[in-house]
Structure 1
Amino acid sequence: MPVTLDNKLVVALSSRALFDFEEENRVFEEMDDRAYMQLQSDRLDRPAPPGVAFTLAKKLLAFNADGVHRVEIVILSRNDPVSGLRVFRSAEENGLDLGRGVFTRGRAPYRFLDPLGAHLFLSANADDVRKALAAGFPAAQVFAHSHVDTERHADELRIAFDGDAVLFSDEAERIYQQDGLARFHAHERAHVARPLPPGPFKPLLEALQRLQGATGPSVPVRLRTALVTARSAPAHERAIRTLIDWGVSVDEAMFLGGLEKGPFLAEFEPDFFFDDQTGHCESASRAGPAGQVLSGVTNT
């Protein structure tokens, strides 16, 4: 029987998403790829510090602790293979069980998401994220300066999502952008019983809900999800009805009516937050790791 990743939650991470390679990346931008490769080679025995997606990866891998292979983390990177050595060594030093990686030395890596069957792709490269989303994969550009705390709530993985253009399509967001809040609320009242079309991150939420079923004393982490949206009453009802229609749920929901999201996320303490708008991601990044979903009307 061939090896397969079927029925696994597959998360693909770029090197700069998993580890803090911002200093090395500046060498690449200011000089060239050969200088970058040499620096990575020189630092081969120096573990890279945790990046934006480090805690997410570590806690997801904890769902394999009882010997059941539920989660696969794959490195999918524009790095060269030599630089990839440092990624794997850094992972080993940090206790991350990573066995698979694709290194393309500057070529767009998103095309490998399909054979991986990936449920999520996180990268610092905006173009790769856009192409992954266009190909139908949940993807986000990581905010490299996000606050990262690898020690908080070690027994719980917390993931938060925006609604429109992330979990849901940008259908309603387009009306808000074009016609204003009053027209948006009128539209949502009129269509309250019609589920919103799915957004790019519906498949990830569904995969995470399947992961929530992993319980028992040998699995040291639990999953908690939240919807954090600028919607407010009466537009909240259509969002909740949509989740019910999909047969999925979230543990917490925050309908903020345009309030800044960062202070609320600071209380939730997410291990990752996904939003389509730059301002919300900037605010969220002060509370925890954030990634921008480069889709929908606000990103065109």
Structure 2
Amino acid sequence: MSFSLSGKLVVAISSRALFDFEEENRIFEATNDSAYMRLQNDRLEIPAKAGVAFPLVEKLLRFNSADTSRVEVVILSRNDPVSGLRVFRSAKHAGLKLERGVFTRGRPPYHYLRSLHANLFLSANESDVRETLNAGFPAALVYPQSSKLAESNPNEIRIAFDGDAVLFSDESERIYQEKGLDAFVAHEITRAQIPLPPGPFKPLLEALHQLQNSAGSTPMRIRTALVTARSAPAHERAIRTLMSWGIDIDEAMFLGGLDKSDFLKEFEPDFFFDDQTGHCEKAAEVAPTGQVMSGISNHKTPSSS
């Protein structure tokens, strides 16, 4: 019997993003994959604790009903198939209806995202996230130590996005980093009517928008927020860009250098996506956080010879 993922919101997620496998991962890094496999097999009957993305997955699956499937969550992992047994058993114990998974035993898993029609990949492996973004799919490096205090609002998924290099391209961020604030502001004022080029997470925002519109009678809702260091007058181009995309965003915070984490604590996101390490480290103290390894802030400087 054939099954299609077309038209669904598809989230691919690594085992470490969904479950707390940090202890097991330390064994892997200190020894080898054989020792890791043995440990996972020995713990097969011990359900893993929830990881940083668990609350988000739990809520996303509530969009599905007995007769309508709107969301598909697929395990996409560098783990071996034996370790995958524990992942599925842990999911079953937690009441998560996960039916599909791809386990590559060390091989980069991003190759399968096209076949999965994935709208998002969440992983604790930086190289996998970078390769996924380079392949044209939204992806974020989860911070496993992120606070899970935002497990509130049971009938609402709240997702917050940074703007430049996340929803939008890093075109303007480059101006800021290379020429300073005054040049950035002048650049944005003269181009206020010109939509920003899309960033890596525009497709996810569109998919969330479509999911919201197809929610029907389900009690679940999605609330989105733009949380950006932009401030007036550079705010206008960001707003007009979203308008040109035909996407409504519920909240917009133009903070002009204020600490984002204070505002995220009030918004209570189920996930926050930002491209800059400093912002992510602070945000992780108050909410589940994923770093989008794209744009000028994430270009690695070659080491000198």
TM-score band w.r.t. shorter chain: over 0.9
User: How far is 1:148 from its partner?
Assistant: 1.2
1:281-300 to 2 correspondences below 5 Å = 281-300=280-299
Distance 1:187 1:151, change over 3 A: closer
The equivalent of 2:25 in structure 1 is 25
1:188-267 to 2 correspondences below 5 Å = 188-217=188-217, 219-267=218-266
User: How far is 1:220 from its partner?
Assistant: 3.4
In 2, the alpha carbon distance for the partners of 1:27 and 1:212 equals 41
User: How far is 1:149 from its partner?
Assistant: 3.6
In 2, the alpha carbon distance for the partners of 1:186 and 1:258 equals 18
SS in structure 1 of the partner of residue 196 of structure 2? coil
Q: Deviations over 1:84-133 (max 9, x none)?
A: 00000000111110000000011100000011110000000000000000
In 1, the alpha carbon distance for the partners of 2:150 and 2:246 equals 32
Establish whether residue 67 from structure 1 lines up as the match of residue 67 from structure 2.
yes
SS in structure 2 of the partner of residue 212 of structure 1? helix
1:37-186 to 2 correspondences below 5 Å = 37-65=37-65, 67-149=67-149, 151-186=151-186
User: How far is 1:80 from its partner?
Assistant: 0.4
Structure 1: gaps of 5 or more residues? none
In 1, the alpha carbon distance for the partners of 2:45 and 2:150 equals 22
In 1, the alpha carbon distance for the partners of 2:19 and 2:264 equals 23
SS in structure 2 of the partner of residue 68 of structure 1? coil
TM-score, normalisation: structure 1: 0.98
In 1, the alpha carbon distance for the partners of 2:118 and 2:292 equals 16
In 2, the alpha carbon distance for the partners of 1:245 and 1:206 equals 12
Moved over 2 A (4+): 214-217
In 1, the alpha carbon distance for the partners of 2:213 and 2:69 equals 14
User: How far is 1:154 from its partner?
Assistant: 1.1
Q: Is the 8 A contact 1:65 1:220 kept in 2?
A: no
In 1, the alpha carbon distance for the partners of 2:221 and 2:285 equals 24
In 1, the alpha carbon distance for the partners of 2:296 and 2:151 equals 36
In 2, the alpha carbon distance for the partners of 1:10 and 1:28 equals 29
AA partner of residue 166 (structure 2): V
Q: Is the 8 A contact 1:124 1:143 kept in 2?
A: yes
Q: Deviations over 1:27-51 (max 9, x none)?
A: 0011111111111001111111111
Identity of aligned residues (%): 68
The equivalent of 1:280 in structure 2 is 279
AA partner of residue 225 (structure 2): A
In 1, the alpha carbon distance for the partners of 2:269 and 2:212 equals 16
Q: Deviations over 1:122-162 (max 9, x none)?
A: 00000000000000000000001100147411111100000
Structure 2: gaps of 5 or more residues? 300-305
Task: Give the total of aligned pairs.
Answer: 299
Establish whether residue 270 from structure 1 lines up as the match of residue 249 from structure 2.
no
Q: Is the 8 A contact 2:150 2:269 kept in 1?
A: no
SS in structure 2 of the partner of residue 160 of structure 1? strand
Distance 1:151 1:273, change over 3 A: closer
User: How far is 1:67 from its partner?
Assistant: 2.6
AA partner of residue 97 (structure 1): K
TM-score, normalisation: structure 2: 0.96
Q: Is the 8 A contact 2:53 2:288 kept in 1?
A: yes
More displaced 10-residue stretch of structure 1: 207-216 or 228-237: 207-216
Q: Is the 8 A contact 1:138 1:203 kept in 2?
A: yes
